[in-house]
Amino acid sequence: MSKEAKLELDGKSFTLPMVEGTEGERAVDIACLRNYTSCITLDDGYANTGSCLSKITFIDGEKGILRYRGIPIEELAEKSTFVETAYLIIYGHLPTRAELRQFSDLLTANANLHEDMKYHFEGFPSSAHPMAILSAMINASSCFDPGLMKMGNAGRFDLLAARLISQVRTIAAFSYRKSRGLPIIYPKSAYKYTANFLHMMFSEPYDDYEIKPEVVRALDLIFLLHADHEQNCSTATVRMVASSQANMFACAAAGVCALWGPLHGGANQAVVEMLEEIHREGDDGSKFITAAKDKVSGKRLMGFGHRVYKHYDPRAKIIKQACDSLLNVLQISDPLLDIAKKLEESALKDPYFVERKLYPNVDFYSGIIMRAIGIPMEMFPVIFAIGRMPGWIANYKEIAEDPKARIYRPRQIYVGPTLTHFMPLHKRK
| Active site positions, annotated | 306, 363
Cβ of residue 252: shortest distance to ligand SDX, in angstroms? 15
Decide whether 169 or 315 has the Cβ nearer to ligand SDX. Answer: 315
Asked if 354 interacts with ligand SDX (CB under 6 A), we say no
**CA distance linking residue 396 with residue 247, whole number of Å:** 9
Query: Hey, how many other C-beta atoms are within 10 angstroms of the C-beta on 115?
Result: 8
Interface with ligand SDX (CB under 6 A), residue total: 21
Angle of helix 267-280 relative to helix 363-373, nearest 10 degrees?
80
- Interacting stretch for ligand SDX, rule CB under 6 A, among 23-31, 303-311, 325-333, 400-408? 303-311
Taking CB positions, which residue lies at the least distance from ligand SDX? 305
Query: What residues contact 161, with CB distance under 8 A and at least 6 apart?
Result: 90, 248, 393, 397
Cβ of residue 308: shortest distance to ligand SDX, in angstroms? 6
Decide whether 84 or 363 has the Cβ nearer to ligand SDX. Answer: 363
Please give the span between the terminal C-alpha atoms of the chain, in angstroms, as a whole number: 62
71: number of CA atoms within 13 Å, CB side? 20
- Interacting stretch for ligand SDX, rule CB under 6 A, among 79-87, 147-155, 175-183, 353-361? 353-361
Least Cα distance to 165 among 343, 394, 429 occurs for 394
Instruction: Determine which residue in the list 67, 129, 306, 397 makes contact with ligand SDX, applying CB under 6 A.
Output: 306
Cβ of residue 76: shortest distance to ligand SDX, in angstroms? 15
Query: What residues contact 193, with CB distance under 8 A and at least 6 apart?
Result: 81, 82, 83, 104, 107, 166, 169, 220
Cβ of residue 228: shortest distance to ligand SDX, in angstroms? 8
Q: Which of residues 200-229 bind ligand SDX (CB under 6 A)?
A: 229
Asked if 307 interacts with ligand SDX (CB under 6 A), we say yes
Cβ of residue 323: shortest distance to ligand SDX, in angstroms? 16
Instruction: Determine which residue in the list 95, 130, 285, 305 makes contact with ligand SDX, applying CB under 6 A.
Output: 305
Query: Hey, how many other C-beta atoms are within 10 angstroms of the C-beta on 11?
Result: 5
Contact 364, 316 (CB under 8 A): yes
Look at the alpha carbons of 371, 162, 399, 3 in this order and tell me if their dihedral is positive or negative.
negative
Cβ of residue 306: shortest distance to ligand SDX, in angstroms? 5
Decide whether 111 or 258 has the Cβ nearer to ligand SDX. Answer: 258
Torsion of CA 379, 385, 387, 392, to 10 degrees: 180
Cβ of residue 49: shortest distance to ligand SDX, in angstroms? 13
Asked if 301 interacts with ligand SDX (CB under 6 A), we say yes
- Interacting stretch for ligand SDX, rule CB under 6 A, among 69-77, 169-177, 279-287, 298-306? 298-306
**CA distance linking residue 318 with residue 165, whole number of Å:** 24
Cβ of residue 381: shortest distance to ligand SDX, in angstroms? 10
Contact 365, 225 (CB under 8 A): no
**CA distance linking residue 173 with residue 149, whole number of Å:** 25
CA angle 110, 111, 113 (to 5 degrees): 90
Contact 183, 200 (CB under 8 A): no
- Interacting stretch for ligand SDX, rule CB under 6 A, among 162-170, 179-187, 302-310, 325-333? 302-310
Helix H or strand E encompassing 225: helix 213-225
Q: What is the DSSP string of 312-374?
A: --HHHHHHHHHHHHHHHHTT---HHHHHHHHHHHHHTT-HHHHHTT--B-THHHHHHHHHHHT
Instruction: Determine which residue in the list 173, 343, 362, 373 makes contact with ligand SDX, applying CB under 6 A.
Output: 362
- Interacting stretch for ligand SDX, rule CB under 6 A, among 189-197, 242-250, 305-313, 367-375? 305-313
**CA distance linking residue 362 with residue 222, whole number of Å:** 9
Decide whether 167 or 361 has the Cβ nearer to ligand SDX. Answer: 361
Q: Which of residues 318-347 bind ligand SDX (CB under 6 A)?
A: none
Contact code string over 253-292 relative to ligand SDX, x by CB under 6 A: ----------xx--x------------------------x
Decide whether 113 or 343 has the Cβ nearer to ligand SDX. Answer: 343
Question: Which residues make up the interface to ligand SDX (CB under 6 A)?
Answer: 45, 229, 232, 263-264, 267, 292, 300-308, 356, 358, 361-363
